Structure 1
Amino acid sequence: MTEATGTTEAVEADRALKTGHRKMWALGDYSAVAAELIPDLGATLVEACGVRSGRRVLDIAAGTGNAAIPAALAGAEVVASDLTPELMDAGRKLAVERGAEVEWREANAEALPFTDGEFDTVMSCLGVMFAPHHQAAADELVRVCGPGGTIGLISWTPEGFVGQMFAAMKPYAPKPPPGAQPPPLWGQEAHVRELLGDRVTDMEARRQTVRIGRFDEPDAFREYFKANYGPTVATYRNIADDAGKVAALDRDLDDLALRHADASGSTALDWEYLLVTARRSA
């Protein structure tokens, strides 16, 4: 095999992988998940990044604009980039409804179409963590941030509820391609420090939780995610022809919710995430 052939095959494999990711996040209704379960997380990140009027901000893997819209409402000039056009279409409608001016750009987090140092703030709320090649994504978010600029991230932790949900789904999901890394690794401080390296200073990382009180019963949580959350929809589709596996995954997700139930038996859930802010080195 020649080097050129290998390169071509690698490019095609990556294109297929990104196409799969795009299709996965278009499944269900992530706009509902963001609006109904975690509506304040984007604003939490915007505040932590100190976004203000006059700043040029890039929201990577912005989804429906959970962070991009609050940043625009704070007066910043905001570009929201995402791999999935369907999510951006929903985000555009939300931005108009809330009176926020946001520029939407389709973009791969691992190969951003922006110049070096173009932004004062580069952030991602539960987005860049799903790019399969972590170092490539980290290199890009650092590259497009100007010297002295702010990098801000919110990612689910491996030990938290959502990280455990991904662990529960893993045996039933399609096998990840070679080189792809688990998204919740971005929720480990040591991993993020290694990814960013000495290209940033003043990095701060703290674990926080968001309270989810929507679900009265474990099966309500499970059915909501089966209908609305792309990765869960895709996992169930992968095993749709095996009733035994479907039932087993139902049980595993119900057990997960029960383990996180409070003393009253309610399935109000505390979802843990890692909030990271850092300065781009001069």
Structure 2
Amino acid sequence: MTGASRLKERYWAADRYQKVANRLYPLSVALCDRAALQARERVLDVATATGNAALAAAERDCTVTAIDTDLHMLGVAQRRAQAKNLQLTLRNYDAQNMPFPAELFDAVISAGGVQFAPDPVACAAELLRVCRPTGRIVVGSWGPASPITTMLEILHSACPLVDSILHCSTAWGTSEGLHRLFGDRANIEAEESRIYIEVPSVGEWTDILCQDFGPAKLALDESNASVAREIRQSLLALFSQFSEGTDHPGQVRIRMDCLQAVVTPVST
């Protein structure tokens, strides 16, 4: 592992990231709704991080396996499951090469996770391989125009140590990209979805990101005071564009645009 890789890993502290993941939980609920999960179905959550989608599936009485390459994230997912009295099978596996038998799962899901794997072609092949012929793959991905993609581009411009995700947002977050990944091996139904999170204010959401979202904290810590102020102001302006009022006093809604896709294997 290079010095830059170790630095990035340190900033992806699982307990700190959970403060962000708590706010993003509605995205996983919406994804499980789109997957139409049924009780006792075998579900695989790919790139689970701290377990949002896996827990949402377990709450539907599914038999859930979740994988991630980060052991610390999996540890948080396990503690969350125990706190909710839910059962998860957690594995430290890579989405690009999963040691599961073929056609094992009724549903394979990923909420903004699998799109970050380095080899999207390998990931797409693996998702298809482990999904039953009558099953479905349901992924929620940040597209090129989503606020998350734009935020990471802002951070990357200020600090090249933060990875750009334009390539993976095009691959997984557009209908065209998904058709290129899966080709004639699957049918794809994709639609842009507007998922909302509620926060006390745009400023507080910006503070959470700056303090607890690894790439943002990395960019701020690696920048001088002037650049750090510019980063924060840019993020504040960005999420202000996606915010609106609510019926709840002291709360605003922030729109988190993403592409939700249902991918069904084609029999050969």
Calculate the TM-score normalised by the size of structure 1: 0.82
Please state if 1:257 is matched with 2:242.
no
Distance 2:33 2:4 in 1: 33
Structure 1 counterpart of 2:241, one-letter code: R
Query: 8 Å contact 1:120–1:145 — kept in the other structure?
Result: yes
User: Which residue matches 1:234?
Assistant: 218
- Report what 1:182 is aligned to: 167
CA shift, 1:258, in A, is: 3.3
1:118 aligned to 2:100?
no
| 1:157-204 CA-partner distances (Å, limit 9, x unpaired) | 2212222212211212335789x8634222211111211111112x21
In structure 1, the residue matched to 2:255 is 270
Alpha-carbon deviation of 1:85? Answer: 1.3
Residue 214 of structure 1, CA deviation: 0.7
1:25 and 2:12 correspond: yes
2:179 matched to 1:197? no
Distance between the aligned counterparts of 2:159 and 2:123, measured in 1? 23
2:206 maps to 1:222 = yes
Question: Does the CA contact (< 8 Å) of 1:165 and 1:256 recur in 2?
Answer: yes
Q: Determine the structure 2 residue equivalent to 1:66.
A: 52
Change in Cα spacing, 1:88 to 1:96, as seen in structure 2 (3 Å) is same
Gaps of 5+ in 2: none
Percent identity, aligned pairs only, is 25
Q: Is the 8 A contact 2:14 2:50 kept in 1?
A: no
C-alpha distance after superposition, 1:189-243 (max 9, x if no partner): 1111211111112x2111111223314243x332210111122223223x24x33
Q: CA RMSD in A?
A: 2.7
Q: 2 CA distance for matches of 1:49 and 1:153? A: 9
Match of 2:135 in 1: 149
**Once the 2 structures are TM-superposed, how far is the Cα of residue 122 of structure 1 from its aligned partner?**
0.9
How far the C-alpha of 1:28 sits from its partner, in A, is 6.3
Match of 1:211 in 2: 196
Structure 1: gaps spanning 5 or more residues: 1-11
Give the drift of 1:81: 0.3
**Aligned pairs, number:** 262
1:51 aligns with 2:32: no
Moved more, 89-98 or 68-77: 68-77
Q: Counterpart in 1 of 2:228?
A: 246
Cα contact 1:132–1:182 (8 A) shared by 2: no
Structure-2 residue corresponding to 1:77: 63
* Aligned AA (1:172): A
Partner of 2:149: 163
The letter of the residue matching 1:75 is D
CA 1:98–1:262 in 2, change beyond 3 Å: closer, same or farther? closer
Per-residue Cα deviation, 1:98-150 (whole angstroms, up to 9, x for no partner): 22111000111222222222222111011111112222222221222122221
Q: 1:142 to 1:235 in 2, by over 3 A?
A: farther
- Structure 1 CA distance, aligned partners of 2:262 and 2:206? 32
- 2:145 counterpart SS class: coil
Residue aligning to 2:78:
92
What are the superposed Cα offsets for residues 82-105 of structure 1, whole Å, 9 maximum, x if unpaired? Answer: 111111111111111222111000
Given residue 45 of structure 2, which amino acid in structure 1 is its aligned partner? D
